[in-house]
Structure 1
């Protein structure tokens, strides 16, 4: 055949979550697959993303894909050892919408924030699709004109 396979890869679905049970199961399945093709001259074998680089060193094989950690960002609070990462960049945007919200109203996807008092709320046109960590939902902060403002609700797409 004229086809040469250079590598085989997969991607952990849960290597950055609190429980690593499914990630370990996924690695076992990947290893079974590798065992079936062990006689093929496959140069690159990889499954480890940022979460697995820190949480599953046994899954490094002969290549890893660092993803977010290249930028000094951890994908979640459950990635052990990632505390040493330091952001290598900053994200700047502009407020696109400003609105006063009455007491007792819910905001965001799944209504994850409820106002305890009347408050002025800003919308920023950035989200996890831009690399802003989902883990900052309801607990991260942004700077607006130099003043710290809490993220209310879920970091959206």
Structure 2
């Protein structure tokens, strides 16, 4: 009977997924309690606010980043809008569209969270050292760029 040992590629792929999972869990365990307790936000909420702050996204652009259907963004955005963290602003280039912007309150929240995240992650980053941190960041960004394109039915704007 033939042995069904995994190939080197399978071993590497599963090790990568496991390492990614463990690293994400470590980040989540350290950051999520602070986000929930102080801001009533989770890690995904924080990232959504950061993306809006950095890119002044359209709802469709946010949907593409999150890999959700365009119609799902209203449900995601409503709590931020009700809490006066995000506002919809008419796009100056196309009055039929709007862009998402942080309010002053949203900007204050994101700045405070950034300080907390920096404080929490500094130890991890110091343990890695600057060269390994830079290599990790480069590698993760490269992998993110290699992802498969979003299916057309989810990419609606």
TM-score by structure 2 length? Answer: 0.22
* Higher alpha-carbon Rg: 1
| Structure of greater relative contact order (alpha carbons < 8 Å, 6+ residues apart) | 2
Report which of the two has the higher share of strand: 1
Higher helix proportion (structure 1 or 2): 2
TM-score (norm 1): 0.22
